[in-house]
Structure 1
Amino acid sequence: MSALQKSFARAHLQNLPPPPLPPPVPVFDEREEEDEQDHPSLSASDSSSSASSTGTIIPSPTRNLFERPRVSKSQYDSLPWQDFFDREIYLDNGATRHHAYFSAPASLDAPLFCFHHGAGASGLSFASLTAALRSAVPEAGYLSPDCRGHGETQTPENQTLDLSLATLATDLAFVINATHVQMGWQRLPPIILLGHSLGGAVVTEVAYRKLLGNAILGYGVFDVVEGSAMDALQSMESYLSSRPRSFQSVASGIEWHVRSRTIRNTTSARVSVPPLLVQNQLEDSPATWLWRTDLSATKPFWENWFTGLSSKFLSVPGAGKLLLLAGTDRLDKELMIGQMQGKYQLQVFPDAGHFVHEDQPEKTAMIVADFWRRNDRSTLVLPPKVDDLIKQGKLKPANQKK
């Protein structure tokens, strides 16, 4: 390039606008780290996951493309039990006053689903499942008691709390029969018993001891078998010591259950967690919420709850049997053999945790509704009895001469 060309180019370049500045380098903001505490963790199964089309972020002039969605604290507010059951009932048995949530069946021919919760839980553990079942079986009734030492059931403070399996089974049978009396029913409706964890052992004991006679159509056990339950007892104390001892509010207790994935369904946690907590009444202590049930104090009963559970579950004649698990690794040898022999119905929800009926209430309701229909005796067409045919003159006695 000649000197004349260089001079011409320099004169014109000076009149051009300056080049655009490079984009600013993002700076780490400590407030983002603090804000992260306000947002629930996401998993592959969440509807807000990046793998879900419903979670796609749409940019707008007033919203940053990569801004984290803010979660309202109302997400962890409690839900009232009235959204799930029609009424609560109190049933006195001596010095013990049993409390239960109840919705009556449309008729005595409709089924009555009776629940029993696990250790440390309450009758509202089955609230979300009840709501789903009421859509599938609207004519049915639902009874979900708080067992002694839990929820609103009251026992004398000066008595040692008896949580033995025999006592809990007798309590459940009493609640069902006392409801029968209070409602003025002529007979018990057909009953389906459903129990979670400890509750699974209790409903099995009620069926095994025939405490409700022939009223039981079937019973279901949720995520508990003898083998894995006995193994889990070894680590129970470590788990209890790792839990928070108190919460600043009921909402923070609900949030802990969701964030720790103890309960993976926020709606269920919002109704089932509040009964687990009670406000600290000590004047010299901060206003916190404590666990209502001291699970460590139940340790003397742990082995009693689950010893012999598998054999009892398989041996009850004349009743349908359902086992609902969160993983096949929970099966012990006796139940594996029984399953291969077709002695019970097995359903596995691998996406659920221990509270399988709370994590997956709709799926559980579908399985339970189908279980009831397959065991419904009212749909069976039985041949007439021989005695009835003889009385009607349609059949002669075997010893009568022709």
Structure 2
Amino acid sequence: MSDLQRAWAKAKYSISNDTFDEVDEEHENDVLPELPEPVDDDSSSASSASSVSSTGTIIPSPNQKLFARPQGVARGRTLEQIPWTTYFERELSLKSEQEPEVVYHAYLTSPVGKGPLFVMHHGAGSSGLSFAVVASEIKKRLSTAGILAIDCRGHGSTNAPGDKALDMRLDTLSSDLFSMVQLTKNEMAWPEMPPIVLVGHSLGGAVVTDLAKSGRLGTSVLGYAVLDVVEGSAIDALQSMHTYLSTRPLGFATLQAGIEWHIRSRTIRNSISARTSVPALLVFNENDDPTRPWRWRTNLGATQPYWEGWFIGLSKKFLGAKGGKLLLLAGTDRLDTELTIGQMQGKYALQVFPEAGHFIHEDLPEKTAVSLVDFFRRNDRSALVLPPKVSDLLKQGKRV
């Protein structure tokens, strides 16, 4: 709206400029922002935690705009796909050593120097690109950070033929994630494993917790973050899973129609995230219905035998595994009894984003990135200043 139109409308109808600013913001929200050079912002204002403790409930400070509207659908919006190259350095195809017919796929931005590696596992039916936008936000705040976002078997571009794609047992997925981390280290010829922060959304939260509890990655793991999944509410939600799947469209006429459905249904409340992640959820197949050739890549209904196994015992493992613990939720009503008690005892850090949906990291990538970077910094062992050894003090002629 031009300045002349603003002035005319304001004079005639006594409409404030704030109203026009809000309308213009809706148009601007759907424009893909340029990704600036990464900035390692170590100021306290960039941190979501106001406490020096690595546990406790974290309440974001006002300057983080906790109640700001998530980016959403705007009039005149574009629904064009945003390529993965906008967010990651490279994609990897990694052949499984245990199952040579399985070829893992992942997206990688390598850590710089002694920077951490955020290893990210998506939820059921999603893909590694679910973490694309939050990955770029992490890099803005921690320029040395690396991000490894994997495609689980049966999802994304990971190739697991036949029944292999449907082997969705928790121990299989946990072993897959361990293998992908090791294969990535070998592929990139890293001399040693970087410090790792495991991050998992929904099903992915169960996978990273299981891997952390197993200890297979050793002391490389600084901590693990679980996004919007707890044992009690997850198992309760399984009862309505078939209803949800039956109400989803079987397919879409175009890729853009699939993106738009995710935004309008508020499955994903951020159009930039939807334009990035949704294309990987669909595959073109006009054999079943030529009018809706874009079909779901993953048959979630076929994974039903494994649903309960993903989440049973999750709370106990989450509280018992070694390393820092962070739980991000869209609502405190999701907490079960065991986690509520654990929170009262200060066993993990909790942050709640009530304005987000289930896909917290896609709805609010900036706030999620702030939480994850701050979580790493609170658990970064390289930042610890240890007292000098007694033997060193004696060599220096000092009395002890």
Q: TM (normalized to structure 2)? A: 0.79
- Give the structure 1 partner of residue 162 of structure 2: 157
Aligned partner of 2:275 among 270, 273, 280: 270
Q: State the SS of the aligned residue for 2:306.
A: helix
1:12-63 Cα offsets, whole Å, 9 max, x none, are xxxxxxxxxxxxxxxxxxxxxxxxxxxxxxxxxxxxxx98551358xxxxxx
Q: How far apart are the structure 2 equivalents of 1:260 and 1:266?
A: 12
Q: How far apart are the structure 1 equivalents of 2:344 and 2:291?
A: 56
Q: How far apart are the structure 2 equivalents of 1:282 and 1:234?
A: 32
- Give the structure 2 partner of residue 54 of structure 1: 21
Q: State the SS of the aligned residue for 1:323.
A: strand
Larger radius of gyration: 1
- Give the structure 2 partner of residue 91 of structure 1: 94
Q: How far apart are the structure 1 equivalents of 2:249 and 2:149?
A: 27
Distance 1:159 1:381, change over 3 A: closer
Structure 2 unpaired stretches of 5+: 1-16, 25-72
- Give the structure 1 partner of residue 357 of structure 2: 353
Aligned-pair distance for 1:157? 2.4
For 1:130, give the aligned amino acid.
A
1:149-197 Cα offsets, whole Å, 9 max, x none, are 0000001226462111101011011111111111111110000000000
- Give the structure 1 partner of residue 6 of structure 2: none
- Give the structure 1 partner of residue 299 of structure 2: 294
Aligned-pair distance for 1:75? 1.4
After superposition, residues 186-225 of structure 1 pair within 5 angstroms as 186-225=191-230
Q: How far apart are the structure 1 equivalents of 2:149 and 2:277?
A: 12
Distance 1:240 1:132, change over 3 A: same
For 1:140, give the aligned amino acid.
A
Q: State the SS of the aligned residue for 1:273.
A: helix
CA RMSD of aligned residues (A): 2.3
- Give the structure 2 partner of residue 106 of structure 1: 112
Q: How far apart are the structure 2 equivalents of 1:341 and 1:391?
A: 41
Distance 1:169 1:158, change over 3 A: closer
Structure 1 unpaired stretches of 5+: 1-49, 58-68, 396-402
- Report sequence identity in percent: 55
For 1:383, give the aligned amino acid.
P
Q: State the SS of the aligned residue for 1:88.
A: strand
Q: How far apart are the structure 2 equivalents of 1:169 and 1:184?
A: 23
For 2:372, give the aligned amino acid.
V
- Give the structure 1 partner of residue 188 of structure 2: 183
State whether residues 153 and 165 of structure 2, in contact with CA within 8 Å, keep that contact through their aligned partners in structure 1.
Answer: no
**Larger RCO: 1 or 2 (CA < 8 Å, sep 6+):** 2
Aligned-pair distance for 1:391? 11
Aligned partner of 1:282 among 282, 287, 295: 287
Q: State the SS of the aligned residue for 2:162.
A: coil
After superposition, residues 110-129 of structure 1 pair within 5 angstroms as 110-129=115-134
Distance 1:237 1:263, change over 3 A: same
Q: 4+ runs of 1 displaced by more than 4 Å?
A: 50-53, 388-395
Aligned partner of 2:137 among 115, 127, 132: 132
Distance 1:182 1:52, change over 3 A: farther
Q: How far apart are the structure 2 equivalents of 1:176 and 1:56?
A: 45
- Give the structure 1 partner of residue 148 of structure 2: 143
Q: How far apart are the structure 1 equivalents of 2:288 and 2:252?
A: 17
Q: How far apart are the structure 1 equivalents of 2:289 and 2:134?
A: 40
Aligned-pair distance for 1:232? 0.2
For 2:273, give the aligned amino acid.
S
State whether residues 279 and 287 of structure 1, in contact with CA within 8 Å, keep that contact through their aligned partners in structure 2.
Answer: no
